Amino acid sequence: MAIHPIEFRYGTPEMKAIWEQESKLQNMLKVEAALAKAEAEIGLIPKDAADEINKKATTEYVKQERVDEIEQATHHDIAALMKALEEVCENDAGEYVHYGATSNDIIDSSQSIQLKDSIIIIREKVVKLIELLIDLAQEHKNTVTIGRTHGQHALPTTYGMKFAIYIDELTRQLDRLDLTKEHLCVGMMTGAVGTTAALGDVGYDIHMRVSEILGLNPVHISNQVVQRDNHAEYVMTLANICSTLEKMALEVRNLQRTEIMEVGEKFDPKKQVGSSTMPHKRNPITGERICGVSRVVRSYVNAALQNNPLWHERDLTNSSCERIILPESAILTDYILNLSLKLFGKLEFHEENIERNLNLSNGLVMAERFMSKLTQKGMGRQSAYSLVRSCAMEAYAQDTGLKDILSKQEEILEHLTMEEIEETMDPHTYLGSSAKFVDNVIKYAKKAIKE
């Protein structure tokens, strides 16, 4: 019976396939086969034995059920793998299985293949999300909205700016993923404490050749394991990506509040139900799920960092932890990337509410523009700030428009005409270099994803 939500609720088939038991077993067998091939090429083991090992080192011959059965007796997963592979090899080929290796040569090298495949899937989806956001940024480059700082109305901005912020951040996440892949996805065949002593003078050559066969860069140096700062970097990178996705989803959730309602998730009124008791509800469930699941991935960062300081050349404290956090962080990050593609691919805009909220303060958000305009007309900046602030506080107190208060100030009328005051009140024309920023981000992102 399924227990964990990943089994039945969260995750995509393509990412789950990388981490399922049979795939893990196949990758470990692939490493054993690569080891035998490299050793035969150098002359350490007979070529016929290496050919037989390579033929049988698949889940077609080595069954997970048999490996599990052996492990019940040995209490050692790699010893069980070796025995199961040895059993299916004909003649004496099984005698040469795992020669010169230690368990973590197999575990870390095969895990590197899984991690590499995971990063490829995640990277592809980050690119898709960037492309989707580029379309939104271009479409809404001039959709003016109120910017909010501290939850309060600040100055006009654009939805193009909002989306460009996400594009720029996700582009940096691509850089982090690529760097993580370079550090993390390495091959290792270095023996019990990293010296390759069991393989003699050709140990380093076999280490290099095994990595080449597996399509991995060889680790520069190891003890019994690839150092876990690399794995911590991987989990931190995924957590960082999740933090970006949560930031994006949180903004949509806030903008979908009933009192704001500028953008929101697509809702199918014919099928979708928002509440079991409140018939009117249209809840931001996709965004909420993104935010909730991202917390789980972020929580794994602490555990990943604690996996780095192991005793001497290695202890086992990282192993059980990684069996949980590595597959789950990949599966959940991939899952909320899918949710983010769904959310932003069907985002609904309520133009009338965007405009309503832009003007909700009755002109108070244009106070900075008045200060700048007065300064340009010859008033000192500090004096202009003090005067406009005084007018703004009066407008607050009287619950009236800022323009009405400003228009009665003789000191202001000495510098600005009524026509200039009216023009200064238009929030749609106070956007500075926003369009240029958006264009530059899009240009850079397009170049980055093309490369």
Catalytically active residues, by annotation: 150, 275
Helix (H) or strand (E) segment spanning residue 248: helix 229-255
Give one DSSP letter per residue of 331-351, joined into a string.
HHHHHHHHHHHHHHHT-EE-H
Phi, psi of 160 (to 5 degrees): -60, -40
Please tell me the distance from the alpha carbon of residue 117 to that of residue 384, in angstroms, as a whole number.
59
Angle formed at CA 291 by CA 290 and CA 294, multiple of 5 degrees: 80
Beta-sheet strands, E only, within 26-151: 144-149
Kindly tell me the burial class for residue 101, based on how many C-beta atoms sit within 10 Å of its own C-beta (0-12, 13-18, 19 or more): buried
Please tell me the distance from the alpha carbon of residue 126 to that of residue 312, in angstroms, as a whole number.
38
Q: Tally the C-alpha atoms within 13 A of residue 309's C-alpha that lie toward its C-beta.
A: 3
Structure tokens at 93: 């080929």
Of 124, 104, 106, the closest CA to residue 116 belongs to 124
Which residues, 6+ apart, have CB-to-CB distance to 124 below 8 Å? none
Give one DSSP letter per residue of 350-404, joined into a string.
-HHHHHHHHTTTTTGGGHHHHHHHHHHTT--HHHHHHHHHHHHHHHHHHT--HHH
